[in-house]
Amino acid sequence: MFNKKQFGAEFKWGVSTAAYQIEGAHNIDDKGFSIWDTFSNQNKKILGNHNGNHACDFYNRHEDDLKLIKYLNIPNFRFSLSWPRILPSGIGTINQKGVDFYDRLIDHSMELGVTPWVTLYHWDLPQMIEDKGGWTNRDVVSWFSDFVEVCANKFGDRVNNWMILNEPMVFTGAGYFLGIHAPGRKGLKNFIPAVHHAALCQSLGARVLKSICPNANVGTTFSCSHLEPNTSSEKDKLATKRVDALINRLFIEPSLGLGYPTDDLKLLDRIYDYFLPDDEKLLPFDFDFVGLQNYTREIVTHSYFVPLLQAKLIKADKRNVPITLMNWEVYPDAMYQTLKKFDQYSQIKKIIVTENGAAFHDVFFDGKIEDELRANYLKDHIREVLRAKNDGIKVEGYFVWTLLDNFEWAEGFYPRFGIVHTNFKTQERTIKKSGYWYKNFLDNK
């Protein structure tokens, strides 16, 4: 077995959440609607027709939930700010009640000695901005910068750790290309401009933040999967390269000054149509840390049937491997390989694993949840982080996804990722075995 000490005293341990997935209170205290309020309240968009209107009611229960974090010995808490709770129209008038909520959350957290780590954008775009074109409208860059300015001015006196965007590849890909996430738009004509504007917001948001809070620890987060070709054929290898450019390299490389990976991904060529003269210079930003979010490995095969990309992923349940409820393969080595891959970018100063976790079918028995599979998943992945660290890879933190079972986007409340169980009828919380495992691990001084 390994213990916490082996990671060093400076290593950041935490737990991650996101506003829309836990807060609920969707129409309380003058909050504006987000694209997720709209999308999840439409028929048949979300599994089981669920929506996040009430979610975990974290808006009203955050004091108790913070105590739970404290009880679990978790020193760092990652949460996101709901843009339409703070600016109901996306721009303009500030909603003081929304600011008050985050003030309470930050203050209570700090009173308990739990350090806040704030994500500025975790997918809940104000609906009024979407009505003006959302991420496809270039103006989103200045609207987002204004939002960042408000947040830095309001909370920057207490919050030191910031993340600009959560997984831009997922919110542009699922939301503006595949249409399976809010706002449900499809096609390259939406995806390509959304990518470029999100990449600009990633760096401009960071600049705004640093200009107001020069000492802040500023990062941003990326979804990344370890990829392997299905066979050693040249076709599968090239297909893997294209998928890698799309899902792992698309947002990190422009931020590092390497530009978009257009050489390996021809479908991106049209992105230059959306460039203004100075954009090349605006895309890079020297982040203090990069947040990596890895859950699995993917196997890639060449496919003539997928237009432009000519590649597809072989679903885990077709591969005879252990899987989670998301149909993601359980493959801890993926964590090590991902850290190693990103470590090779010499421009990255520090890596923090800002999400990792698993959804399994939990069974309540005798008032307890013995979620052995989740506890093992966490142990096995944390062990891989240690292996990476011991190999000299610059990984300096690990955050579990997630504290509470919550609203898992298109999958509704079905996949439970929490180390704490949520009873969605009574809002009762029950710490799972995985939660006790993390608590004991973190207690080991």
Catalytic site includes residue 167: yes
Region binding ligand FCB by CB under 6 A among candidate stretches 28-36, 162-170, 344-352, 426-434: 162-170
Q: Which is nearer to ligand FCB, 190 or 356 (CB)?
A: 356
CA gap 310, 299 in Å, rounded? 14
CB closer to ligand FCB out of 38 and 293 = 293
How many whole angstroms from its chain centre is CA 192? Answer: 20
For residues 71 and 76, give the distance between their C-alpha atoms in angstroms, rounded to a whole number. Answer: 12
Stretch that binds ligand FCB, among 163-171, 191-199, 201-209, 304-312 (CB under 6 A): 163-171
Binder to ligand FCB among 167, 371, 384, 396 (CB under 6 A)? Answer: 167
* Contact between 162 and ligand FCB per CB under 6 A: no
183 residue type, one letter: P
320: exposed, middle or buried (C-beta count within 10 Å: 0-12, 13-18, 19+)?
Answer: exposed
Residue of 65, 355, 371, 405 that binds ligand FCB (CB under 6 A):
355
Size of the site for ligand FCB (CB under 6 A): 12
Phi, psi of 353 (to 5 degrees): -80, 105
408 binds ligand FCB (CB under 6 A): yes
**Tell me, what DSSP letter sits at residue 247?**
I
Catalytically annotated residue among 167, 298, 396, 408: 167
411 is catalytic: no
Q: What x-and-dash track marks residues 280-309 binding ligand FCB by CB under 6 A?
A: -------------x----------------
Pairing type for strands 364-365 and 368-369 reads antiparallel
Closer residue to ligand FCB, CB minimum distance, 229 or 332? 332
Contact between 409 and ligand FCB (CB under 6 A)? Answer: yes
Tokens 């077995």 correspond to what residue? 1
Q: Least CB distance from residue 170 to ligand FCB, whole Å? A: 5
Residue 394 is encoded by which pair of tokens?
Answer: 């610059």
The two tokens of residue 369 are: 């949840």
Q: In the numeric block, which tokens belong to residue 427?
A: 């809002």
In angstroms and rounded to an integer, the radius of gyration of the C-alpha atoms of the chain is 21
The answer to whether 223 contacts ligand FCB (rule: CB under 6 A) is yes
Contacting residues for 440 by C-beta, under 8 A, at least 6 apart: none
Three-state SS sequence of 343-391: HCCCCCCCEEEEECCCCCCCCEECCEECCHHHHHHHHHHHHHHHHHHHC
User: In sequence order, what are the beta bridge partners of 400?
Assistant: 15
Active-site choice (130, 298, 329, 355): 355
Is residue 417 a contact point for ligand FCB (CB under 6 A)? yes
Q: Give the binding range for ligand FCB (CB under 6 A) out of 165-173, 225-233, 244-252, 360-368.
A: 165-173
Q: Which region among 27-35, 60-68, 150-158, 164-172 touches ligand FCB (by CB under 6 A)?
A: 164-172
In angstroms, the Cα distances linking 118 to 12, 41, 59, 421 are 14, 27, 16, 23
Q: With respect to ligand FCB, which residue has the nearer C-beta, 99 or 358?
A: 358
Binding test (CB under 6 A) with ligand FCB, winner from 150, 170, 258, 267: 170
Q: Which residues belong to the active site?
A: 167, 355
Residues near ligand FCB, by CB under 6 A: 18, 21, 166-167, 170, 223, 293, 355, 401, 408-409, 417
